[in-house]
Amino acid sequence: MKAGARIYVPVSIAESRISRRFDPIPCGTLYPNADEIAYLQRLVMYKDSAIIVLNKPPKLPVKGNLPVHNSLDALAAAALSYDYEEGPQLVHRLDRESSGILLMGRTKESASYLQQLFININVAKTSCLAWNDACEATFMRYWALVVGYPREKEGVICAPLTKVLLDDGKTERVMLAHPSGLEASQEAMTEYRVLGPMINGCSWIELRPLTSRKHQLRVHCAEALGTPIVGDYKYGWFVHRKWKQTPQVTIEPTSGEPYKLRRPDGLDVQKGSVLSKVPLLHLHCRELVLPNIAKFLGVLGQRSAGYYPKLSEKPDVLRFVASMPSHMKISWNLMSSYLV
């Protein structure tokens, strides 16, 4: 061996099985091999000349810094550039433990317009009326399984957020800002809607963020609604401490009969679902509606609102729906079909 020599070490069969258990990226490297490139490309739901839409699995970090080397932004240049010279850029982020739709811009221009749209819709608007209407139609919807049941079945959470540093600045935590307003805070708004009754102490809710703040949905669920997301050990630690010890029974409100979760034959409940000893985070970006940026790039920034002829037949907005990861599918099936 000489200094600078490159050594290739095969991944064992046992490690391969473990890596497939929760569908994370096979291994961490800044130079993905053919298998890793194929893995990331399988996550792609949609691709055109301007954007790439992926269905991110849990445990795959989106934005990397030391000691994270296998983040999606670091691997995208090699795995998702396709026929472009540069790799795609992130438009928004998802937490490492969460899953769902992730949007990337294939060019600097498309990424810049979409990043402005996610930050401030008024800044993203131009003289093109059709583009402005498409911007107004933009939204994201998340599905989450929470511990407990909100007091109201639907509503809007208006609760500013602030950041605090813990462990001598090594750890950052987001929390609700104090009403006094003496500390620096950011406006945060989330629409929510309960999807069904509480079963075995948990309920499914739909979340639509109206602002884009770090950990906004997790903090709003845990602190504003008082219903932490299942698997959120950072903001819902107080309910997960007694997760194993608490037998939870809920009465069906109309008939008075108790709900009871039963294990269907042949279904493995030890994959991070609600019945696991250590469940994974149950937060999934399920739906995204956004402007068809590939159609509008030719007219954005111009004074005229007219379209190029070749773009006139394309839709103004695009809609995507991402399937839930395996652990959330198991929890959904368990909680939606077995009423005793």
Catalytic residue annotation:
95
Sign of CA dihedral 331, 333, 334, 340: positive
SS3 92: coil
Helix ranges restricted to H, the chain: 13-21, 34-42, 72-79, 108-119, 121-124, 129-136, 216-219, 237-240, 293-296, 326-337
CA atoms of 315 and 292, how far apart (whole Å): 7
- Measured in degrees and rounded to the nearest 5, phi and psi for residue 135 equal -65, -40
CA atoms of 219 and 225, how far apart (whole Å): 9
Residue 47 exposed, middle or buried by CB count within 10 Å (0-12, 13-18, 19+): middle
